[in-house]
Copies of this chain bind each other. A is one copy, B any other.
C-alpha cells in the first residue's frame, strides 16, 4: 500500500485536512502517517528517512502533504523521494495580490491560541455540564438545546458544536417516562425557541441500543418504533425543527444545525 504523509511545523491538522480532502476523491487505499511539530532540521531529516524507507519498501513514491513556515525545513522535506504537495504554494501569492498586504507567516497561527479560544473551552465546559438533561437550570445561557430519544446522537453532536464552533449546546433526552401522552417537559417549554430535535431510523436505533443493552425492552424494535413515533409527533405538533441522524456524521449534523438554527460560530 502506498503511504501518504502529512507533515508540518505545527499540529499538521491543516495538512491532514488538505491531503485527506484530495485523497478522498480517489478509490485508492493509503497508509497514513502524520508528523506534526517538525520544526528543526534534525526532525526533518528523520522524517525524510521515513519517507525514503516507505518508498524503498513499497516501490511507489509516497505522497507528502505539507505546510511549513520555515523555508529551510520545507526544503529538507521536498528533497525526499516523496511527491510533495504544499497547499499554500498556489494560493498565498494571489491572495496577497488581492489584499495588497504581505503575508506574515507564523507557526501555529491556524490551530494555536487566539482570542476566541477561551470561548471554545467555555462552550465545551458548558456542554459537558448540561449533557443528557442532568440539569435544566442553565438553559438561559444555551445557544441551542438538542432533544431526542436515547441514542440518537445528541451528545456527540453537542460536543462537536462546542469544540468546532464554540456553541453552548445543551441536550435533553426524551425518555420512556415522558412517553405516555408525550408533552414538552416544562423546563423545555420556556426555551422552545432554542430547541432542535434529532430523530433516527427505527432499525438503526434498535441496533445501536442492542449493542448497549442486548435483549432489553429498551432495545426492542417495538419500543424503538413507539418512541420515535411519539417523538416525531411531538416535533410536528410543537413545530420543533428536526433532523434525521441515521446517515449523517457529527460533522454533517453540526453543520446542518448551524445553518437551520441560524447559529453564529464563535471561532476564527
Contacts and interface: CB of A to CB of B under 8 A. Distances in A.
B20 A17 contact: no
A123 B101 CA distance: 43
A28 interface: yes
B156 A251 contact: no
Interface string A3-28: 00000001111100110111111111
A41 interface: no
A178 B260 CA distance: 48
A163 B164 CA distance: 10
A12 to B, nearest CB: 7
A231 B198 CA distance: 43
Contacts of A23: 95
Contact of A255 (B30, B36, B252): B36
A124 B155 contact: yes
Interface in A144-183: 153, 155-156, 159-160, 163-164
Interface in A226-268: 247-252, 254-256, 258-259, 265, 268
A83 interface: yes
B28 A99 contact: yes
Given A25-B104, A109-B25, A113-B248, A255 B91 contact: no
A188 to B, nearest CB: 22
B251 A26 contact: no
B26 A104 contact: yes
Interface of A: 10-14, 17-18, 20-28, 30, 32, 34-37, 61, 63, 67, 83, 85, 87-92, 94-96, 98-99, 101, 103-106, 108-113, 117, 120-121, 124-125, 128, 131, 153, 155-156, 159-160, 163-164, 247-252, 254-256, 258-259, 265, 268
5 contacts: A11-B251, A13-B251, A13-B255, A27-B101, A112-B249
